[in-house]
Amino acid sequence: MTSQENQAAYARRMHHVLEYIDRHLDQTLELNTLAEVAHFSAFHFHRLFSAWMGETFGDYLRRRRLEIAAMRLIAQPGVPVLEIALSVGFGSAEAFARAFKTRFGCSATEWRRGQAERWASQLEASHNGTSSQNSNPDQMHGKQDQAGKLRPGHHGNSPTATTEILMKVKIIERQAAKIAYMRYTGAYGQPISQFWVKTVSPWMETNNLFGRPRYGISHDDPAITSPEKCRYDAGVEVPPDFVASGKSFTTTIPGGSYAVTRYIGDGRDIGETWTGLLRDWLPASGMQLDARPCFEYYPTDATCDAQTGAFECDLCIPVVPL
């Protein structure tokens, strides 16, 4: 294989490892097990992981567990702190408390209370008409216009202001779906829009993938994870025999129960809709998240108005009984 092909093969193996970690955070994760997932020698895996990720396996695993815990503390306010700690792989409340305070500078309880107060104050501000002044610039990603090409759209995640949202949420059973995707790593926002337009669109055209359902998967919350470490996957459904090449990868969106709400707008308030789903609807629903990813789903019949910028998509979160 060429040098580029070798690099792509390494990247695909590492993507499998990161996906495996996310779906098994509540379990003991040993280097030998992950080396097997990556089909690398256990002797060399630790060094390879550090070189590829820019942090040791232990540091990455600790960071990922704490960031997922921080998100669940907000999205699941009725779940005891210890239960959340156990759900991300900490063996005791003491170990979790020490690690959480080291990472975030406060206790898990203080974090949960502080985030709740922050959202409440921002909700009040939005009612007073000040939210537009306090909000960050919208985050962007690509949309598909009626001609099949991708155009810029807005991508919101963890906005700094929120409003009360009357949303219709339904629980559906989704079948597993194989997707091919390209990954962007870095600060969310305008760069994601450019990523769709300049990188993903030509790749989709080359592989004859237009006209298929698409996915946008934000793996990290930029309010929690450092911008340079945030990961976003731009994906499209592909046939079972599709083989990834170049800088593309394949994975399976797991099937099962998902809470879904339809978003319609120009994207400027999509972050607020995510907030309403995760931090308002979910805690009152009697459901909780599991290890599957949240994602935006763009069905083939989703409307898109090139003149107004209005589009529609389904916001999907994986749920299981509380």
Q: Give the tens place of pLDDT for each residue, 126-136.
A: 445 443 333 23
Of 65, 101, 103, nearest to 84 by C-alpha is: 65
Mean pLDDT value of segment 28-36:
93
Mean pLDDT value of segment 84-94:
95
Residue 180 has pLDDT above 70, yes or no: yes
pLDDT band, very low/low/confident/very high, at 103 (cuts 50, 70, 90):
very high
- Least confidently predicted of 13-17, 22-26, 122-126: 122-126
pLDDT of residue 202: 95
Residue 139's CB is within 10 A of a number of other CB atoms, namely 24
pLDDT band, very low/low/confident/very high, at 163 (cuts 50, 70, 90):
very low
pLDDT band, very low/low/confident/very high, at 310 (cuts 50, 70, 90):
confident
Mean pLDDT value of segment 261-265:
92
Residue 57 has pLDDT above 80, yes or no: yes
- Classify strands 177-185 and 140-144 as parallel, antiparallel or unpaired: unpaired
Q: CA of 126: how far to CAs of 63, 131, 134, 159, 165, in Å?
A: 33, 4, 9, 12, 12
182-227: pLDDT as tens digits: 999 999 887 888 899 899 999 999 999 999 999 999 999 888 999 9
Can you say whether the dihedral through the CA atoms of 65, 247, 182, 152 is positive or negative? positive
Q: CA of 288: how far to CAs of 24, 189, 218, 257, 279, in Å?
A: 17, 28, 18, 11, 11
Q: Which residues of 64-102 are buried (b: 16+ CB within 10 A; e: fewer)?
A: bbbbbbbbbbbbbeebebeebbbbbbbeeeeebbebbee
pLDDT band, very low/low/confident/very high, at 150 (cuts 50, 70, 90):
low
Give the residue, 2 or 282, on which the prediction is more confident: 282
pLDDT of residue 254: 96
Mean pLDDT value of segment 88-93:
95
Q: Which two tokens stand for residue 82?
A: 């210890």
**Is 281:169 a contact under the CB 8 Å cutoff?**
yes
- Least confidently predicted of 152-161, 169-178, 200-209: 152-161
DSSP state at residue 304: B
Of 219, 287, 256, nearest to 79 by C-alpha is: 287
Residue 240's CB is within 10 A of a number of other CB atoms, namely 6
pLDDT of residue 130: 41
pLDDT of residue 268: 79
N residues, the chain: 322
Residue 302 has pLDDT above 80, yes or no: yes
- Classify strands 311-321 and 287-289 as parallel, antiparallel or unpaired: antiparallel
Number of H helices, E strands in the chain: 12, 11
**Mean of all residue pLDDT scores within the chain:** 85
CA–CA separation, 99 and 105 (whole Å) = 10
- Least confidently predicted of 12-21, 123-132, 245-254, 263-272: 123-132
3-state secondary structure of 270: helix
CA gyration radius for the chain?
20
Q: Give 144's contacts (C-beta < 8 A, 6+ positions apart).
A: 150, 151, 210, 214, 298, 304
DSSP state at residue 106: S
Q: Give 30's contacts (C-beta < 8 A, 6+ positions apart).
A: none
The pair phi, psi for residue 254, each rounded to 5°, is -65, 150
**Is 162:122 a contact under the CB 8 Å cutoff?**
yes
pLDDT of residue 4: 77
- Look up the pTM and report it: 0.82
Structural domains of the chain, with CATH: 3-115 (1.10.10.60), 137-321 (3.20.80.10)
Mean pLDDT value of segment 152-176:
64
pLDDT of residue 224: 92
pLDDT of residue 155: 54
| Best-predicted range by mean pLDDT (55-59, 222-226, 300-304) | 55-59
Scanning the structure block, which residue is given the tokens 């707008």? 265
Mean pLDDT value of segment 286-304:
91
CA–CA separation, 232 and 230 (whole Å) = 7
Scanning the structure block, which residue is given the tokens 């337009």? 197
